C-alpha cells in the first residue's frame, strides 16, 4: 500500500475509532432507559470497520471505561467483568458482516448483530448477578428468577441494538462505506 493511502487509512481509522467511542459514551450517558444504548451496535460496527480484531474489541472497552468513569459504579467486580466480557462478542459479529460475500449472508450477519449481543449480554450478566450479587437462591429456581427479572432489560437491549445497528450501518451506506451487495469493505 502506498504511503499516502496508508496514512489516509490510519487517519480515517483513528477518526472512526474516536467517533464510535464517542457514540458509545454519549449513548450510555443519555440513554432514555436502562440498557437502551448503542454499545453493542458500536461494537458490531467496529468489528466490521477495523481489520485488526484488537482495535475492534478496544472500541467497546474504551467506551465502557470512559462512560463508567462518569456513571455510578458497579456493586460487584464479577458483575462488572461479566458486562465487559459480554461486549467482546459483538466485534466478532461485525467481522462476519465484513467477511460476508453474498447479500443473504450479509443480511443474516447483520440480523445476528441485532439479536445475539443482547441475548448473550442477558445470559451472561444475569447469571453473574445471580451468582455474585443478588439474594436469589443459588439453585435453578434462583437462576430462573434472575433471568425473569432481566427480561425487560433484554427487550430494551434488543430494541436498542436493532435501532443503533441500523443507524450505524445505514449511515455507512449513505457515506458509501457499506453495501449489502459488496463483498468487503474497501
C-alpha–C-alpha distance, residues 180 and 38, integer Å: 21
Contacts from 166-173 at CB under 8 Å and sequence distance 24+? 166/114, 167/41, 168/23, 168/38, 168/41, 168/42, 168/44, 168/45, 169/45, 169/48, 169/97, 169/110, 172/45
The residue extents of the domains of the chain are 3-174
**5: confidence class by pLDDT, cuts 50, 70, 90:** low
Q: What would the pLDDT profile of 47-77 be if each residue is shown by its tens digit? A: 999 999 999 999 999 999 999 999 988 889 9
Under 8 Å between Cβ of 161 and 42:
no
**2: confidence class by pLDDT, cuts 50, 70, 90:** low
Question: What's residue 178's pLDDT?
Answer: 85
Q: What would the pLDDT profile of 125-164 be if each residue is shown by its tens digit? A: 999 999 999 899 999 999 999 999 999 999 999 999 999 9
Amino acid at each position: 500500500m502506498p504511503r499516502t493511502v496508508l496514512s489516509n487509512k490510519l487517519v480515517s481509522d483513528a477518526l472512526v475509532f474516536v467517533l464510535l467511542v464517542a457514540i458509545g459514551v454519549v449513548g450510555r450517558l443519555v440513554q432514555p432507559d436502562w440498557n437502551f444504548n448503542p454499545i453493542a451496535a458500536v461494537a458490531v460496527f467496529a468489528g466490521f470497520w477495523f481489520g485488526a480484531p484488537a482495535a475492534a474489541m478496544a472500541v467497546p472497552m474504551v467506551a465502557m471505561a470512559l462512560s463508567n468513569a462518569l456513571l455510578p459504579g458497579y456493586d460487584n467486580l464479577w458483575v462488572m467483568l461479566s458486562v465487559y466480557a459480554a461486549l467482546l462478542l459483538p466485534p466478532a459479529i461485525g467481522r462476519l458482516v465484513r467477511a460476508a460475500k453474498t447479500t443473504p449472508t450479509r443480511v443474516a450477519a447483520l440480523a445476528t448483530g441485532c439479536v445475539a449481543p443482547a441475548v448473550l449480554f442477558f445470559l451472561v450478566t444475569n447469571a453473574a448477578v445471580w451468582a455474585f450479587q443478588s439474594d436469589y437462591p443459588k439453585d435453578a429456581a434462583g437462576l430462573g428468577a434472575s433471568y425473569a427479572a432481566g427480561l425487560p432489560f433484554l427487550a430494551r437491549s434488543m430494541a436498542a441494538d436493532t435501532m443503533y445497528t441500523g443507524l450505524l450501518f445505514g449511515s455507512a451506506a449513505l457515506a458509501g462505506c457499506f453495501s449489502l451487495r459488496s463483498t468487503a469493505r474497501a
